Amino acid sequence: MLNCTPRAIEKIEDAQLRILWEDDHETVLSFAQLRRHCPCAACRDEWSGEALLDPAAVPDGLGAARADVVGNYALSFAFSDGHGAGVYPFELLRKLCRCAECAYHPGSETN
């Protein structure tokens, strides 16, 4: 099981979020990428998991006014397009990591 506890979360410039995990892994996600993976009911079908949001409708330079920790297990974002309904569990954020290591071992354990 992946370690999904963030040690540090910070915004880089206006378009990216950097998460440093307890196991020293670092994940950098653009807000556009996060927005495209929004797990709220309006963006993703709750039953099929199918995306209802057109990824092309999200501009690459999307920003976020705020990132808030939700109940110690998730983050929510106030995106600059006005959307903010998604609650992103830390596990989802870790799964969205596209660094070389995570891309090479999709979904597998890292030690």
Binding of residue 9 to Zn ion (CB under 5 A): no
Residue 33 in 3-state DSSP? helix
Q: How far apart are CA 11 and CA 19, in angstroms?
A: 9
4 contacts: CB under 8 Å, gap ≥ 6: 21, 89, 90, 91, 93, 94
51 is an interface residue for Zn ion by CB under 5 A: no
Cβ closest to Zn ion, residue 20 vs residue 40: 40
Q: How far is the CB of 41 from Zn ion (least distance, A)?
A: 8
**Single residue of 17, 34, 38, 64 touching Zn ion by CB under 5 A:** 38
Q: Does 29 bind Zn ion (CB under 5 A)?
A: no
DSSP 55: G
Judged by CB under 5 A, the chain residues 57 through 86 that form the site for Zn ion are 85-86
User: Which 3 state secondary structure label does DSSP give 95?
Assistant: helix
Site residues, Zn ion (CB under 5 A): 38, 40, 42-43, 85-86, 97, 99, 102
